[in-house]
Amino acid sequence: MLELINVDVSLNGDHGKIDILKNINLKLDNKKIYVMTGPNGGGKSSIAKVIMGIFTPTNGKILLDGVDIAQKSITERAQMGVGYAFQQPPRFKGLKVHELLELSAGKTHTCNTCNLLYDVGLCAQDYMDREIDTTFSGGELKRVEIASILARDLKVALFDEPEAGIDLWSFQRLTETFENMNRNTDTTIVIISHQERILRLADEVIMIADGTVSEITSQEKVLSAIEQFDKNCRCSADCEREGYRNVNFG
């Protein structure tokens, strides 16, 4: 189980101290899928980064199976079973795809590179021996990084907007992959997403806004709120008055 207790994160910006996360309290169980959602700039990636150790909390505790990891390094947390697939993944220069996946899986794990690539919608024959360099598109890079997280035996797996830049066919495979991971492992899965299809995987939905947890709710409530919004939302712009109507752009 992963617990965040009264976690604050402040960073030094150009204009002084910025409070990025304020009093985050979360209890995340094993073998559950949590979907974190909410407005842009709300603090979702920052929560993933404070769990991974990229940000160090200014206050509070982060307990992984009862052990406070708040002051531990990224490497220590990785060794303890925390993994994070970035919103914008870095490029591992000089590594081939199969090397990255084998490194991720570790020596004790039998890495089935071919299946891992299939799970993220990439053909192993085409990608296995490719070097991860600037020729990779954003979507390809993202999928290889997700595969490198799937390769590991994790206690906590964090996926930051896995759908970004991924085509529909691969997205379908990816949602199935999350379901399989949930079925076959005890991993706590946290997916940051704005996608309805991902929301439907959630045991609980965590809403993040203004650097804090605004609500912990069910997927049913979020989905019905979205449906209601679609029904009630009518265009109220007065195009005629604004002079946008019947404008001849020719």
Ligand X SMILES: Nc1ncnc2c1ncn2[C@@H]1O[C@H](COP(=O)(O)OP(=O)(O)OP(=O)(O)O)[C@@H](O)[C@H]1O
Nearer to ligand X, 121 or 211 (CB): 211
CB 23 within 8 A of CB 61: no
Using the rule CB under 6 A, which residue among 7, 28, 33, 46 binds ligand X? Answer: 46
Binding mask 75-114 for ligand X (x = CB under 6 A): ------------x---------------------------
Using the rule CB under 6 A, which residue among 25, 27, 31, 41 binds ligand X? Answer: 41
Nearer to ligand X, 114 or 164 (CB): 164
Under the criterion CB under 6 A, does residue 43 sit at the interface with ligand X?
A: yes
- Give the amino acid at 97: V
Using the rule CB under 5 A, which residue among 45, 193, 212, 219 binds Mg ion? Answer: 45
Chosen from ligand X, Mg ion, none, partner binding at 137 (C-beta under 5 to 8 Å by type): none
Q: Which residues bind Mg ion (CB under 5 A)?
A: 44-45, 87
Residues binding ligand X (CB under 6 A):
11, 13, 18, 20, 40-46, 87
